[in-house]
Amino acid sequence: MRQGFATSAQIGTTIRIDPRIVLGSQLLQLTQAQLYQAIEAELAENPALERIEDALEPVTPDEILRAVAPAELKLSSEDREYRRSMPNDDSPVDWTELAPASTDLRDHLSAQLLPQLPSNLHKLGEYVIACLEDSGYLLEPVEDIALSSNSTIDEVEQVVSLLQNCEPAGIGSQCLRECLLAQLRETKTVEEKLARNILRYEFEELVSGRTMKIARRFKVIPELVEEAFDLIRELNPYPGEGFTTYHAPLHRTCAVEPDLCISRSDNGWSAEVLGEDVGLLKVSNAYVSRQKALGQAIHPDKDEKRHVGHFVQRAKQFISALEQRRQTLKKVGEYLVASQASFLSTGKYEFLQSLTRTQMAQDLGLHESTISRATNGKFVKIANGEVVSFDVFFKPALRVQKMIEEILSFENPHDPLTDERIMQMLAERGVVVARRTVNKYRDRTRLLSSRKRKTA
């Protein structure tokens, strides 16, 4: 008993972040479809928040009083932390302070990874974490990360290796097999060792469920193979899941909806943030009037004052966070107009200029995580009518691939260019990449090697 108590009694320190910053960050990373659902959820939960077109019938003070739930207003719990979190005076309650804090995957990993890195690699560590998919996989090639972050391939591989040792196990993997193997690093039982060997050497047979073939391969009984199968099924194929980002239910639609529209007219360029118009949301006049009346009363009802202040403050913060999101996306759009006008006009990837999220953040005076939240998973409609992912602006690989295609289109078919020569020609044009990078980009675009192109 004493040993169990000692295990559970862990002492730690936490850093408190302004709840308004948390709310702003959460809304910023939502796509247009997700944001619409979040707004609808907030309108349903907060009686002090309303659309202007919904405010034709003003809410009376009597209706506010009927909305007050006595069971929720009076403290019935003796929980110490709950009482400590409540305000000591009659000031309005900041609802975000009472809401449970969500766990962010990137913050969770930063706390583990950055202390292991030298200070000069902290920014690279943050960038690698930002490249993770929501599922926890790192699908961005090491070469692309090195090119985007102005780092060497060795530095990126060092950071990725340390990231893959972080919790949850399997984070930073590049494929399912690698993810599952990472969760079986320490094998103690026979079943665990067999499961690891099956994943490493007989993955296709595992997927096909060929128990007998695997049993003959490792010279074990079929029952032991089945136990290894059960053990593998208990592993988590998506280590990044379970980390929440917003309290509202979020369901992504199949159709791609742009979050930003960049267009060009006779009056010049314009960047428009699509989606719900923040100007159509407002704080209920009835709630504002009631809050003012309660503030002037000599002996106001404390429960009612807390209720009204709670929802008014919540509505103001929600509207403020929405406006902050709109301003941030607009800044991003205006920055792209200034730096990527040729691509925005034509949609041709060879006109893409080298750009990173770090560079954009520095130029706009924002934190890199803010730019990451504002662009990850979102789409922009450019001037030629195409809808493209924000990722295309931050992936130099696309530009390099197009340049390689252009170089090879003008080569002598009887004397094809080698990867080494292509690397030199790219360097002459200001793009410095390794020979193996040229080889990988050429393979990705299904271009043959110089020897095969000559004999083709």
DSSP assignment of 29-45, as one string? Answer: T--HHHHHHHHHHHHHH
Model-level pTM greater than 0.85?
Answer: no
| Residue tagged 């759009």 (tokens) | 333
For residue 338 the two structure tokens come to 């200034």
Token pair for residue 246? 């917003």
How far is CA 75 from its chain centroid?
37
Residues of the chain with CATH 1.10.10.60: 396-455
Per-residue confidence (pLDDT) for residue 53, from 0 to 100: 66
The whole-angstrom separation of Cα 281 and Cα 287 is: 14
Q: What is the pLDDT of residue 251?
A: 36
Strand partners, 270: 263
CATH superfamily of 396-455: Homeodomain-like (1.10.10.60)
Spell out the per-residue pLDDT of the chain, length 456, in tens: 334 334 334 444 445 556 777 788 888 888 888 888 888 888 888 888 888 765 445 555 555 555 654 444 444 545 545 455 555 545 454 444 444 445 577 788 888 898 899 888 988 888 888 888 878 888 888 888 888 778 898 999 999 999 988 888 888 888 888 888 888 888 788 888 888 888 888 888 887 778 888 888 888 888 888 888 888 888 888 888 766 443 333 333 335 788 999 998 888 899 999 887 888 888 888 888 888 888 888 888 888 888 888 888 898 989 988 999 999 999 999 999 999 988 888 887 777 887 888 889 999 999 888 898 889 888 999 988 888 888 888 877 767 777 787 787 777 777 778 888 888 888 887 777 788 777 776 665 445 454 554 444
User: Max alpha carbon distance in the chain (Å)?
Assistant: 95
Determine the pLDDT at residue 72.
Answer: 46
Q: Which two tokens stand for residue 392?
A: 């295309």
Integer angstrom CA distances of residue 421 from 175, 425, 435, 438: 32, 6, 9, 10
Amino acid 333: pLDDT:
93
What is the phi/psi pair of residue 58, to 5°? -65, 145
What are the residues whose beta carbons fall under 8 Å from the beta carbon of 78, sequence distance 6 or more? none
| CA atoms in the 13 A half-sphere facing the CB of 257 | 15
Nearest to 453 by CA among 426, 424, 419, 420: 419
The pLDDT, as a whole number, for residue 62 is 58
